[in-house]
Amino acid sequence: MPRESGQKVVATNRKARHDYTIEDTYEAGIVLSGTEVKSLRQGRASLVDGYAFVDGGELWLDAVHIPEYTEGTWNNHAPRRKRKLLLHKQEIVKISHKTKEGGYTLVPLSLYFKDGRAKVELAVAKGKREYDKRQALRERQDKREADRAISSRKNLGE
């Protein structure tokens, strides 16, 4: 029985949902050293420049910044090292085939603890063009204005 239960989000990559069209998501375990886990438990991490790739049948996470543990000694970890991800072989093969197609990439969406174990949510994503981003923002703004108009009509009618 794990000491912790539930889910505690450490970091999210909000920009990824703006810059990419998310096709599919996967939950992967992540291999970490002790000081990395302690630093994550303090809630310190950044997924901004992070990406994942398949190399030799293994999945790797690169350029994710986990700062050094403040109480760490000489055996502290490197902040931006490559970290191995843990997934089933069939999922790695599926991801590999998808990313070899044109235009797809692997982007980390969030880093969290689930029942005491560090997990990362990966997305197979396709990059958006500039006009797609503007269109998505416009749709979100139109929906917000419509919801405001409906709620104000309800308030006036009562």
Q: What is the pLDDT of residue 6?
A: 82
pLDDT in tens, 2-35: 577 888 899 999 989 888 899 999 999 999 988 8
**Among 69-83, 111-125, 142-156, whose mean pLDDT is lowest?**
69-83
Higher pLDDT, 113 or 152: 113
Looking at residue 78, what DSSP letter applies?
P
Looking at the chain, the number of H-run helices and the number of E-run strands are 4, 7
Q: How confident is the model at residue 124 (pLDDT cuts 50, 70, 90)?
A: very high
